[in-house]
Structure 1
Amino acid sequence: MHAMRPRLPTFAAGLALLLLAAPFAGLLLATDWRHFGFAHGDGGAVAVSLGYSLVALLLIVALGTPFAWWLARHRVRGQWLIDALLLLALLTPPLAMGLLLATMYGHYGPAGQLLERAGLVLTNSPPAFVMAQFYAALPYYVIAARAAFEGVPRELEQIALTLGHSPTRCFFQVSLPLARLGLAAAVALAWVRALGEFGVALIVAYYPQGIPVKLWVNLQEIGLDAVYPLLWVFFLTALPLPLVLGLAVRGRLP
């Protein structure tokens, strides 16, 4: 006897899928495929977004992974302050975050003045672009990675330590492998969040222009017909990494 599928969840799933697909179906219909072409500077925007997003992602993973593990495994006095800071970074509107970064790291900001004396300019420069993506995506990565580490049984880590593993070796050989599914999701989330960042970049890194800002420029200066081709490129460049990560951690790659 076949198990019956619950009708309500199936209907809700189908409706959610339909709603998710609707905007992209609209894009497919609205694109003028006969005159499909790119505006001046679109290629450079793609290169800027891909290159600097990878740099930002590496920084996010390098700093965010141990931070997320520490949050998952330690409880300190004032823990709520750390959690509140993460939530603030997550909840702050991108445009407001850009203004806050400009206040701190801009030409007249306290950190910005010190860094500029050392030759590092964090407004309208490649480092500023990476900074915008870093601040936009880091809280998403840390929260998702923290959840992944919290799903790892502490008993397994304790067993590894009693067998003579150092804490560092335990982290790399026990904690990371067991948290790989959640960490892969965190990396994918950070990647799409960094690549698609607009509000923060608009304030602190209008130049060099990445894909999101160039989409806005194309809309303002040319119109929708100049937006759609670049948007297709954005999808084609953003999707492969999350898809490959998902397949790799599940062992489904050929």
Structure 2
Amino acid sequence: MTARRGKKRREGNAWLSRVLAVGVFVFLLAPFAALFFATDWADFHFAQGDLGAIRTSLLYSGLAVLLAVLAGTPLAWWLARGHWRGKWVLDALLMLPLLTPPLALGILLSSFYGPYSPVGSVFSQAGIYLTNTAPAFILAQIYGAMPYYIIAARAAFEGVPRELEQISRTLGRNRLQTFWQVTLPLARIGLSAGVALAWVRAMGEFGIVLIVAYFPQGIPVKLWVNLQDIGLDAVYPLLWIFFLVAVPLPLWIGLRARRQTQALF
């Protein structure tokens, strides 16, 4: 009797978990169902400048994510493996870009990198202008995406057992070889999640880009411009394209990382 009751209780808990999971899933996707029915499919067309905004977002988001990964991976590894007094201060500072409202962060970037600031004037003398230019657009996306990648990459590195790295070192591999041959493959899923998250954040960044690089217009800013100048109907076609170009990359990265990790074992 006791075993039977325990089985029924487990089945009831499993059923409740499924219901809650489905409820949360429906809650998250309900607005997108509304998007499907609100779109005027009979008059589905792009506004002027939409295709240029798509190209801008794809190209510059890719460059921003690449730079964020190249710069953020060493920092994430250092934070994951380093131990020193006052490390919590760096953790708190890393949270500042995440906690700062995007519009406020855009204002801070304009104040620091603007043409009338000391740093901005140095870049201006070198012919690099960090307001309303392609470099400014990429800079804004890096600030919007890199903190998310660093946090995800740090968690991925912390999940790699130190014992495996130590075994690699005892077998004659140096620190760099251990990183490439042991640490990086084992952290692949977490790093891939970080790349996917950084890509989504870069593609969807609006507040920082609006202040720092209104031009060239990417998809998020162009959505806002279409809403202001044309109306709601001009938003839906570009929004559908945004989903089509932004979602496949993180899905592909996640599936590829899982397959490669399964192949290792």
- TM exceeding 0.5: yes
Counting only pairs closer than 5 Å after superposition, residues 148-167 of structure 1 correspond to structure 2 as 148-167=156-175
SS of 1:251's partner is helix
TM-score normalised per structure 2 = 0.93
C-alpha separation between the residues in 2 aligned to 1:114 and 1:233? 38
Larger helix percent: 2
Is 1:75 equivalent to 2:83 in the alignment? yes
Structure 1 gaps, min length 5:
none
C-alpha separation between the residues in 2 aligned to 1:18 and 1:221? 33
Cα deviation code 1:31-68 (max 9, x no counterpart): 00000000000000000000000000100110111110
Structure 2 gaps, min length 5:
1-6, 261-265
Runs of 4+ in 1 over 3 A off after TM superposition: none
Cα deviation code 1:207-243 (max 9, x no counterpart): 0000000000000000011000000000000011111
Counterpart in 2 of 1:185?
193
Write the letter of the residue equivalent to 1:127.
P
Is 1:39 equivalent to 2:47 in the alignment? yes
C-alpha separation between the residues in 1 aligned to 2:189 and 2:134? 32
Write the letter of the residue equivalent to 1:186.
G
Is 1:22 equivalent to 2:30 in the alignment? yes
How many residue pairs align between the two structures?
Answer: 252
Write the letter of the residue equivalent to 1:54.
G
Counterpart in 2 of 1:147?
155
What root-mean-square deviation, in Å, do the aligned CA atoms of Structure 1 and Structure 2 show? 1.3
Counterpart in 2 of 1:230?
238
C-alpha separation between the residues in 1 aligned to 2:132 and 2:176? 39
C-alpha separation between the residues in 1 aligned to 2:49 and 2:242? 14
Q: 2:138 pairs with 130, 137, 140, which one?
A: 130
C-alpha separation between the residues in 1 aligned to 2:80 and 2:17? 32
Q: Give the C-alpha shift of residue 200 in structure 1.
A: 0.2
TM-score normalised per structure 1 = 0.96
Q: Give the C-alpha shift of residue 104 in structure 1.
A: 0.2
Counterpart in 1 of 2:221?
213
C-alpha separation between the residues in 2 aligned to 1:198 and 1:76? 37
The percent of aligned pairs where both chains have the same amino acid is: 62
Is 1:200 equivalent to 2:208 in the alignment? yes
Q: Give the C-alpha shift of residue 113 in structure 1.
A: 1.0
